[in-house]
Structure 1
Amino acid sequence: MIDVNAIEDYLLLHGDCMEYLKEIPDGSIDLILCDPPYNLAKYSTGNMQFNWRSEINNDLAEWDLVELNPADFVKDFKRILSPTGNIFIFTGYNLFGKWHEVFDKEFDTFQFMVWHKTNPVPSIRKSSFLNSCELIVCMWNKGHTWNFLKQSQMHNFIEAPICMGQERLKYPKHPTQKPLSVLRHIIEIASNENDLVLDMFMGVGSTGVAALNLNRRFIGIEIDKEYYTASVKRIKEAVSEKDYPSRTKTH
Structure 2
Amino acid sequence: MFSTNSSAYKLFNENNLDFMKRLPDSSIDLILTDPPYNLSQFSRGNIHLNNGKTINNKIAEWDSIPLNPNDYIEPFTRIIKPTGNIFIFTSYSLLGKWYDAFNPLFSTFQIFVWHKTTPTQSVYHNSFLNSCELVVCLWNKGHTWNFSSQDQMHNFFECPSCMFPEKIISPKHPTQKPLELIEHLLLISSNPNDIIFDPFMGVGTTGEAALKNNRRFIGIDIDEKYVKASLKRLSIY
TM over 0.5: yes
For 1:176-200, what per-residue CA distance to the aligned partner results, in whole angstroms no more than 9, with x for missing partners?
0000011000000000000000000
Shift of 1:204: 0.4
How many Å separate the matches in 1 of 2:83 and 2:213?
A: 18
CA contact (8 A) 1:193 1:214 kept: yes
Q: Which moved more, 1:165-174 or 1:123-132?
A: 165-174
- Residue 114 of structure 1 corresponds to 113
- Residue 224 of structure 1 corresponds to 223
- Residue 23 of structure 1 corresponds to 22
- Residue 38 of structure 1 corresponds to 37
- Residue 129 of structure 1 corresponds to 128
How many Å separate the matches in 1 of 2:69 and 2:6?
A: 28
For 1:153-180, what per-residue CA distance to the aligned partner results, in whole angstroms no more than 9, with x for missing partners?
2100010100111100352111100000
Q: Which structure 2 residues correspond to residues 1-251 of structure 1 after superposition, within 5 A?
A: 8-169=7-168, 171-237=170-236, 239=237
Identity over aligned pairs, percent? 56
TM-score, L = length of structure 2:
0.96
Q: Which runs of 5+ in 1 are unaligned?
A: 1-5, 240-251
For 1:76-115, what per-residue CA distance to the aligned partner results, in whole angstroms no more than 9, with x for missing partners?
1111001100000000000001101110000111101000
Shift of 1:53: 4.5
Runs (4+) of structure 1 exceeding 4 A deviation are none
How many Å separate the matches in 2 of 1:29 and 1:198?
A: 7
Q: Which amino acid aligns with 2:143?
A: H
Q: Which runs of 5+ in 2 are unaligned?
A: none
CA contact (8 A) 2:169 2:203 kept: no
Shift of 1:226: 1.0
How many Å separate the matches in 1 of 2:11 and 2:195?
A: 13
Q: Which amino acid aligns with 1:83?
A: P
Q: Supply the RMSD in Å over aligned alpha carbons.
A: 1.1
CA contact (8 A) 1:7 1:217 kept: no
Q: Which moved more, 1:7-16 or 1:80-89?
A: 7-16
TM-score, L = length of structure 1:
0.91
